[in-house]
Amino acid sequence: MRPLRLACGVAAALLASACAATGPITTPTDAAQESAAPGYLAVADQALAPGGTLNVQVHIDSGAATGYDPQLADVATTWQLLSLSYETLVTVGPDFAIQPLLAEKWDTPDDRTYVFHLREGVTFSNGRKLTADDVVGSLKRLLASKSVWVGQLGPVDEIAKDGDGKVKVTLKEPYTPFLAALANVPAAILPMKEIDDKSVDPATTLLGTGPYVVEDHRQDVSWTFRRNDAYWNQGKPAADVLNITIAPEEAARIAALQNGGAALATLGNVDSESMLAGAADVKVVTQATTDFYYLMLNSLKPGSKLADPKVRQAINIALDTKQIAEVALGGKGEPTAVTPAGLPGSCDPAALPSAAKGPDEAKRLLAEAGAENLSFTLTIFNTEPAPAVAQVIQQNLQQAGITVKIEQMDEASWSGKVYGKAPAEFDAALSWFAGYADPGMVTKWWNPETAGFNAGFMRPDPALSAAIDAAGKEPAGAARDRALAEVCAQADADAQMIPLVTRPATVAFRTDALSPSLYATEGYGNVLRLVADARVKKSR
Amino acid sequence: MRLLMWWSGRALSSAATLLGVSVLIFAAVRLMPGGFAETVLGPFATAEQKAELATRYGLDQPVFMQYGHWLAAVSGGDFGISMISRQPVGAELLARLPVTAELTVLAVAASVLLGVPLGVLTAVRARPGGGGAAGRLLSGLGVSVPEFVLGSLVVFVFSRYALGLKVGSWVPLTQDPAANLATMILPAAVLSVFAISVTARTTRDAVMGVLVEPYVTAAVGRGESPWSIVRHHILRNAATPVVTLIGTTVAYLLGGALIVEHVFNLPGVGSYIVQAVGRRDYAVVQAGVLLAAGVFIVMNVLIDLLVGAIDPRLGVLAGRRS
């Protein structure tokens, strides 16, 4: 009998303690979102006392193989983490407005020259004052590096000190996205004196001017940041300690939010919002981003029908991006052209030439190309919502008589298949780009001579490349909008990479533990952009 | 002399096993689809950067040379450097081992404390033609349901309805033992379901096998109390298969920890290996699998010693086991 009693006792004790701890279930309100200022999803309540520990959970750690060097960081998840310690000359504000950061202002005496006036009183976290030499050295180091961001920085001709506290950058030709490119982490200002004298290796040490300094990092486990007491922006950061836990499983992040283990978490699955619908004191918001999914069609695979522009056009026409947004992304994304939807100056995807045509036109083009019974494999990674997007693509193309076999694999296998060889071995593949903060920036990846990583599956299109360069030179305004529309039309016709739908970011936070600031829009995938403003309501 | 020979034999067979495992895992990670360079460096990496990475980690050398260098290093206690974190793999494994060890100990404790009594109880209460069916069904379910299914279910239920036990908010044991336990109970429970079921079934079969022995009948005839019979005649004689099973279960649980740690976001060896597989971090996967094989071998040796202590006829000096 004793074992049975023991078992029953343990079970009863567990059940009793569990039931006693059950909290009330309430429906969250949209109060915070409704009351936020224009351009914001939430604004931190400044009446709350600063201090405390902020616990955040994200799904992935920094890219890491290249270390902590911000100039070599090439994915948004790494930018997000490094942005806590590093800062740029300018930053992205609400609605993608470029705002001062380490440069308190800038002059543009002509369309090729930028003079940045550095902010007074800025120090690195080791206490050394930021100088113009750090700025000049950082930008020169970036341009001399193998960073993918060199392609985004544009045609920089010269970088030089321009008197005390000023730096002049001269471009070879006008380049409108220049400030937006400077606003991202790879263009962060590094402690060049320490790097030059080799007392600091940026690959292993984070030493910046940002609001937080790293106290501890365990790869793929957690980061602990503490506030940079010497931070120039007085009163920030509000939280004394920022703990970031890496939790790859979305269910674990949701659980941590619900039980208070995390005050804020990023979510990837479009269904997560409904899973948290009844959770007490948890609010879920959707941040519109310029990131977007796109379909790669391999035109370099020997013998592939996809090398024929008519076949690619037929596929482009047959795709219903509205349906992809509605069905696969639960209505949270929106159709986009090569210029990300939502960015000022971006093209209207409904106005693209392919949007005006239907499955009959797709069938006609396939017949002309002798590809009536076209069949190909679509290679995707297994992270949601990619499988759902692929299924809608499969159904769309079936309407035009195209058979798509979906090949789903883990991200490493997917990377190997898509980027491992040249020419690449896949037929079609699904991926997404960060859309950045200027509509002309991501279009550069449509030129494989600039974006070498695409050279394994796409041919340069001289007309498209010329249109991209022309749009980069046009100053913001009607003429640039027309130039960008031309880029969109050219990319639409080329169809080696077909833009599909935007990729929104879902963020959840505990309203009883945190009052965060969050922009309504984001161009560099940085959910933590305003984390220095966040007020911790109580230590949990 | 016989003991020395036994230890020598075990050492040799253990070394051969580890060598075989090392060959298999070394080959397996290189046969995985997807290149390490694209995964570790990301899609934007240039061919030059990929080549640099390969050179830095010796991955541009012929495979047999890579294996030779790795084996030599591992023999000296150097498990290599992680391509992702650029930190020594051995140090990271050591840092994560306590989490996995704690999880395994809790799961083994649950399997012993619940599985053995349940097995004894169902055996001594079994009647011909009746009883035991429900137990067999339950234990069958426990054996059949995979950890990732049960784990996902538990994560959903306990996160959706709180219930006091925490998911996804691991706290180190040294920092706050109570909070640590609150985060470890659920994963340990999930991990132990299989072990409890198998332990209960094995114990039941072992006890039922002993119950028909003449010395038990004689004890009943002598008028000994049921508890005395269970304690003095049944448990000791039924212990051998149960102890053997528990030993092998420990090794099995280490394998299950891979899934459970990942699902519950525990920073143990299991989640380290899972992430390393996903990122093609060869040195980590190789070291992790080799470590698991090592634990399995050590457990087998311990089982042999323990079985010998319980029943000297089966011990290492009895000449019946090697």
A1 pLDDT higher than 70: no
Count how many Cα atoms sit within 13 Å of the Cα of residue A18 in the half-sphere of its side chain: 17
Instruction: Identify the band that residue A4 occupies on the pLDDT scale cut at 50, 70 and 90.
Output: very low
Q: Which residues in chain A have Cβ-Cβ distances shorter than 8 Å to B263?
A: 249, 251-252
User: Per the structure, how many domains does chain B have?
Assistant: 1
Cβ neighbours for B164, distance < 8 A, ≥ 6 positions apart: A17, A18, A20, A21, A22, B182
* A4 Cβ under 8 Å from any chain B Cβ: yes
CB atoms B86 and A6 under 8 Å: no
Average pLDDT along chain A: 90
Helix residue ranges per DSSP H, A200-260? 250-259
Q: What is the pLDDT of residue A22?
A: 34
pLDDT 10s digits, A180-190: 999 999 999 99
Q: What letter would DSSP give residue A207?
A: -
> Is B157 a member of any domain?
yes
Q: What is the pLDDT of residue B316?
A: 62
B310 - beta bridge partners? none
Q: How far is B169 from chain A (nearest CA, A)?
A: 5
**Separation between Cα atoms, residue A495 and residue A458, nearest integer Å:** 10
Q: Which residues in chain B have Cβ-Cβ distances shorter than 8 Å to A258?
A: 159-160, 162
Q: What is the pLDDT of residue A430?
A: 97
> Is B115 a member of any domain?
yes
Among the ranges given (A397-406, A446-455, B98-107, B152-161), the one the predictor scored with the smallest mean pLDDT: B152-161
The ipTM, to two decimals, is 0.78
The closest CB to that of A65, out of B53, B113, B267, belongs to: B53
Question: Which CATH number is B250's domain given?
Answer: 1.10.3720.10
Average the pLDDT over A145-151 and give the result.
Answer: 89
Among the ranges given (A235-249, A265-279, B61-75), the one the predictor scored with the smallest mean pLDDT: A265-279
B60 - beta bridge partners? none
Q: What is the pLDDT of residue B233?
A: 81
A33 pLDDT higher than 80: no
Task: Kindly report the pTM of this predicted structure.
Answer: 0.85
**Separation between Cα atoms, residue B102 and residue B177, nearest integer Å:** 12
Q: What is the pLDDT of residue A509?
A: 96
Could you tell me which residue, A341 or B137, shows the higher pLDDT?
A341
10 Å CB burial of residue B253 (0-12, 13-18, 19+) is buried
**Separation between Cα atoms, residue B241 and residue B50, nearest integer Å:** 52
How many residues can be counted in chain B? Answer: 322
Instruction: Identify the band that residue B243 occupies on the pLDDT scale cut at 50, 70 and 90.
Output: confident
Q: Which residues in chain A have Cβ-Cβ distances shorter than 8 Å to B264?
A: 249, 252
Q: Which residues in chain A have Cβ-Cβ distances shorter than 8 Å to B82?
A: 219
pLDDT 10s digits, A477-532: 999 999 999 999 999 999 999 999 999 999 999 999 999 999 999 999 999 999 99
A51 pLDDT higher than 80: yes
> Is B3 a member of any domain?
no
Percent of chain A topping pLDDT 70: 93
Q: Which of residues 233-262 of A touch B (CB under 8 A)?
A: 245, 247-249, 251-256, 258-262
The closest CB to that of B117, out of A6, A146, A431, belongs to: A6
Q: Evaluate whether B252 touches B299 at the Cβ level (below 8 Å).
A: no
Q: What is the pLDDT of residue A226?
A: 97
Q: What is the pLDDT of residue B154?
A: 87
CATH 3.60.20.40 assigned to A292-502:
no
Phi, psi (rounded to 5 degrees) for A448: -65, -15
Cβ neighbours for B191, distance < 8 A, ≥ 6 positions apart: B103, B104, B106, B107, B147, B253, B256, B257, B260
Average the pLDDT over B210-229 and give the result.
Answer: 84
pLDDT 10s digits, A332-387: 899 999 999 999 999 999 999 999 998 899 999 999 999 999 999 999 998 888 99
Instruction: Identify the band that residue B130 occupies on the pLDDT scale cut at 50, 70 and 90.
Output: low
Q: Which residues in chain A have Cβ-Cβ distances shorter than 8 Å to B37?
A: 420
Q: What is the pLDDT of residue B319?
A: 52
Could you tell me which residue, A133 or A28, shows the higher pLDDT?
A133
Domain region containing B118: 89-314
Average pLDDT along chain B: 84
Instruction: Identify the band that residue B230 occupies on the pLDDT scale cut at 50, 70 and 90.
Output: confident
Percent of chain B topping pLDDT 70: 93
- Phi-psi map region of A154: left, alpha, beta (phi>0 left; psi -120 to 50 alpha): left
Size of interface A-B (CB pairs under 8 A): 174
